[in-house]
Amino acid sequence: MTFPLDGLKVLDLTRVVAGPFCTRMLSDLGADVVKVEPPDGDLSRLWGAKTAGLSGFYTQQNAGKRNICIDLKAAGAAELVLELAAGADVVVENYRPGVLDRLGLGFDAFRAVNADIVMCSISGFGKGSSWEGRAAFAPILHAESGLIGRQHRFDGGEATDPMLSIADTNAALHATIAILAALRQRDAGGGGQHIDIAMLNTMTVTDDYAHHALDGEPIVRLGGITWETPFGTLLTSGNIRALWWQLSQPGLVDDGLGPDASVEEKIAARKAVLDRFFDRDREAVLADLDTANVAWGDVRDPMEVFDTVADGERRLSTEIDDRAGGTRRVVQSPYHFSDAEATVRGPAPFRGEHNQEVLVDWLDDDGTRAAALLEAGVLEAEAVDGDS
């Protein structure tokens, strides 16, 4: 089997999450992704357990890529990046709007050397926004998009950020979609173009509660209900009214009340019935939920997720070279094709590990140019000393 994006060249000028996750997925789909990393390194190198000096966070987002370390502020650096872009299909970046322009690496510069280039820029609030210069990590977008406020309204207590970079992953996946769409248009003769992805837009478009705000109506909480059972915490989908209706259809619950019972009496009686329903052994509860077609899920400890049967059956994780003589597990891409492959295709790279290799492959260099650029301070490479 082949990879759907085999032969595609992607120049990756991204860091942390939104951009690197986008380019990780492009790599898993077969693209040759070259990560351009600055000398001070991607911030994500600091987070998570380290093996051979490579952190878990950095490894998860950058496995399978090649790495060239360029000091973008050095004389001749912009020219080198443009040389690489001249033979690339895609450039992805997630600096604040205007940063790359000031370095001579804006879209106009890329298009001047490659009319068919597809460039995707990911930022918090988008180019041209009055907020475009603001720092915009995921929690800021969770706050500005109303996610934290809504959760706080319904859960009470302190307003806290969810332990998941939703704004980053939303932006990454929408950027991937937009890139593939732009490539299709290019291949149909439309030429290259610039894609402007704002994390704020990707939060609002993926918010299934947004219609309440747009229609000016009160928010009705959907989602699920948790139940403390003898076999642990279980979550069922929907609200109490929907759950009661589903369970009552096959006669699995009955409040024993007549048609004249008050709402308060019904609520109290049904709560007692449901408490008894879930206070049974696991097999009985799950059998009845399945009979009533109620969706349910175990509220798992996050450390157990990759030890379930689903990991083996659906390839939630895979093993890669840990660069220290062993292997380490990373999340696997979710694409299961009938006649193609998608998987992480290599380990996470060291900073500047592929300087010479990329220049040879992408620029037809004879293998001598990297040394000169290292001497000039345009390229850098980290020393690899094993575990740290």
Instruction: Name the pLDDT band for 388 (thresholds 50, 70, 90).
Output: very low
* Residue 200 and residue 331 in one domain: yes
Residue 385 lies in a domain: no
Q: Do 35 and 163 reside in the same domain of the chain?
A: yes
Q: Report the mean per-residue pLDDT for the chain.
A: 96
Q: Using 50, 70 and 90 to split pLDDT, how confident is the model at 387?
A: very low
Q: Which of 299, 323, 343 is the last residue of a domain?
A: 299
Q: What stretch of H or E contains 291?
A: helix 282-291
Whether residue 256 is found in the same domain as residue 368: no
Two tokens at 142?
Answer: 């969770």
Do 233 and 106 have their domain in common?
no
Q: What is the mean pLDDT of residues 358-375?
A: 96
Do the domain assignments include residue 72? yes
Domain with residue 113: its CATH number is 3.40.50.10540
Backbone φ, ψ for residue 140 (5° rounding): -65, -40
- Minimal CA–CA distance to 114: which of 89, 80, 149, 141? 89
Percent of the chain with pLDDT over 90: 96
* 119 and 241 housed in the same domain: no
Instruction: Give the per-residue pLDDT at 253.
Output: 97
Q: Structural domain tally of the chain?
A: 2
The token duo for 233 is: 């915490």
Does residue 272 belong to any structural domain of this protein?
yes
- Is it the case that residue 287 has pLDDT exceeding 60? yes
Question: In whole angstroms, what is the distance from residue 69 CA to residue 77 CA?
Answer: 10
For the question of residue 387 being annotated catalytic, the response is no
Residues 47 and 189 in one domain: yes
- pLDDT, residue 222, reads 85
What pLDDT, on the 0 to 100 scale, is given for residue 175?
98
Average pLDDT over residues 28-53: 97
Average pLDDT for residues 359-379, to the nearest whole number? 97
Say if residue 241 is in the same domain as residue 204: no
pLDDT number for residue 383:
82
Kindly report, residue by residue over 234-268, the tens digit of the pLDDT.
999 988 999 999 999 999 999 999 999 999 999 99
Number of H helices, E strands in the chain: 16, 14
106 and 166 together in one domain: yes
State the sign of the Cα–Cα–Cα–Cα dihedral 56, 58, 62, 68.
Answer: negative
Structure confidence at residue 223 (pLDDT): 86
Name the active-site residue from 168, 288, 311, 364.
168
Same domain, yes or no, for 197 and 98? yes
Query: Is it the case that residue 298 has pLDDT exceeding 70?
Result: yes
pLDDT at residue number 191: 97
Q: What is the mean pLDDT of residues 110-118?
A: 98
| pLDDT (0 to 100) of residue 385 | 57
Specify the pLDDT at position 1.
80
pLDDT at 159: 96
Same domain membership, residue 163 and residue 39:
yes
What range defines the domain where residue 334 resides?
9-208+313-380
Q: What's the pLDDT tens digit per position in 60-79?
A: 999 999 999 999 999 999 99
Q: Would you say residue 4 lies in a domain?
A: no
Q: Is residue 54 domain-shared with residue 93, that is, in the same domain?
A: yes
**pLDDT value at 384 more than 90:** no
Say how far apart CA 132 and CA 67 lie, in whole Å. 29
Mean pLDDT of 147-161: 94
| Angstrom distance (rounded) from CA 62 to CA 344 | 9
Q: What is the pLDDT of residues 121-148, one digit of tens each?
A: 999 999 999 999 999 999 999 999 999 9
